[in-house]
Amino acid sequence: MMVWQFASRYFRAKKSTNAINIIAWVSVAAIAVGVGALIVILSVFNGFEGLVKSLYSSFYPAIRVAPASGKTILLTPAQLQQIAKTPGIAHYSEVVEEKAVLRYGDEPTIAILKGVDSNYNNVTDVKNNIVRGRFDTGDKEAYRAVLGLELEGALGVDVVHSLAPVTVYVPRRKVNAFVTPEDALNNGILYPAGTFAIQQEFNSKYVITNIDFLRKLLELSDNEMSALEIAASPGVDENQLKIKLQQLLGAGYKVQTRYEQNQSLYAIMQTEKWAVYVILSFIMIIAAFNMIGSLYMLVIEKQKDITILKAMGARKSLIMRIFLAEGLIIAGIGTLLGFVLGTAFCLLQQHFGIIKLEGTSFLVDAYPVSMHPQDFLLVFVTIIVIGVAASWYPAKRAAVAVITLKAT
C-alpha cells in the first residue's frame, strides 16, 4: 500500500521541471490513443467476422456429411432414420451439386447446380435472402431454378418477366465413346423463378434447383447424393454433434462443421486480426519510450527523496517497486482513457455509422463494429506488460542511485 501512496504522490505532485509533468501526460495521451485505436480496430475486425459468418451461415449448414473420397455418397433410408434420431439434429436435407454449362440466348455460362429437397429451407436461410421472384425449385411438371444475383445478370435472365427456360448441360456419367460433343452431355431445361443475394462468392456461381431434376440429369439413384446438410438444434455444440455422426457413419464419410467448411476463410480473418494487433502493439512499445524518459527524469529529480528513504531503512526492492508502480499508474490511466475513447467511438459507429463503406450496394453502408470483453482484457494485459517493461530500467536506476549516494 505504501508503494502506491508514494507512486501516486509522485505522479500528482508538481515537479521542479515542468517538462517532466508534460512528458508524463504526453505518455498518458500516447497510451490512450494507442489503446483506443486497438479497441476500435479489433472491434471492426470482430464486426466484419460476424458479418461474414452470418452471410456464410445463410448458405452453409451447421453440419455437412460428404464423401471421404469420390463425388457422391449413398445413404439408405435406415441410415437417414438413424441420423434423424441423433440427439441435437433438428433437420437434414439431401443435396446434389455439379458444375454445368447454362445457356440462355447465345452466351454459355459455367455455374454450379445445387439440387435440393423440400427440407432445404429448414437447414439454410437462402429463402429469406430472395431479392427478386420467389424461392421455388418446381416439380416434375416444370423444374425451376433460383439463381444468384450476379449469375442472373451474367445470363441476362429476368426472373420476374421472362418465360423462356435456361438450358442446362452436364457431363454424362456412363459414356465411353462419342461421335459428337453433344453425345457426352445430358441436357435439361429450367424455368427461372427467383434470385437470391447473399455474398458474391455464392451469387456469381450457384443455381438452386430440384434434386430430382439433377439426379435424373446426372443419372444418380434415389439414395445417391453429393452431401447431406444438417441443421443443429439451438444450443447444441457442433463439434460434439460432428463426433456423434462420425462414429455413426464411419470412416467412409467426411463430417464437417460450419467452421471446417470455411476453415481457410476463418483462418485468414484471424491471421489478419492478429497481424494488426501485433503492429499496433509495436506502435505502443514506441510510445512507451515517452514513459521511460518521464520516469528517468523523475528518478533524477527524486534522488534526495530516495536517499532519505534509504536512510530510513528502505530496501532496494522497495525503491524499484515505487517507480514500477509509477509506470503502472501512467499506463493504467492511459489505458482507462483509451477504453473510454475506443468504446465511445464504437458506440457512435454502431448507432450512427460515422465512417461509411464505399462501393457496397446492399450489405452494409458503414464499417461494422462488435466489442468483445476478451479484446479489452487482451489490450489491458498488453499495456500492463509494456508498462512494466518500460518502467523496469528507470526503476532499476533509481535503486542503483541509492547505493551510489550512500557510498559518497
The domain segmentation of the chain, as residue ranges, is 2-57+265-407, 61-261
What is the rounded average pLDDT of the residues 101-122?
93
109 has a pLDDT exceeding 60: yes
Percentage of the chain lying above the pLDDT 70 cut: 90
What is the rounded average pLDDT of the residues 21-50?
89
Distance of CA 95 to the CA centre of its chain: 27
- C-alpha grid cell, residue 217: 440429369
Strand, coil or helix: 196 = strand
Compute the half-sphere exposure of residue 10: CA atoms within 13 Å on the CB side of its CA. Answer: 30
pTM (predicted TM-score): 0.76
pLDDT for the residue numbered 407: 43
pLDDT for the residue numbered 405: 44
Q: Which helix (H) or strand (E) holds 18?
A: helix 18-59
73 has a pLDDT exceeding 70: yes
Sequence-separated contacts (24+) of 377-382 with Cβ below 8 Å: 378/42, 378/277, 379/35, 379/38, 379/39, 379/42, 379/335, 379/338, 379/339, 380/335, 382/38, 382/281, 382/284
Tell me the pLDDT of the chain averaged across its residues: 87
Place of cell 457426352: 184
Question: Which of 15-24, 182-191, 315-324 is least confident?
Answer: 15-24
- Of 3, 25, 10, 5, whose CA–CA distance to 301 is shortest? 10
182 has a pLDDT exceeding 70: no
Place of cell 436435407: 93
pLDDT for the residue numbered 391: 87
pLDDT for the residue numbered 163: 83
d(CA 88, CA 70): 28
CB distance 200 to 140 below 8 Å: no
Beta bridge partners of 104: 107
- Of 396, 311, 346, whose CA–CA distance to 36 is shortest? 346
How does DSSP classify residue 395?
H
Longest dimension (CA), the chain: 106
Helix axis angle, 263-301 relative to 373-407, nearest 10°?
Answer: 30
Please provide the DSSP assignment of 203-268 as one string: HTTEEEEEHHHHHHHHT--TTEESEEEEEEPTT--HHHHHHHHHHHH-TTEEEEEHHHHTHHHHHH
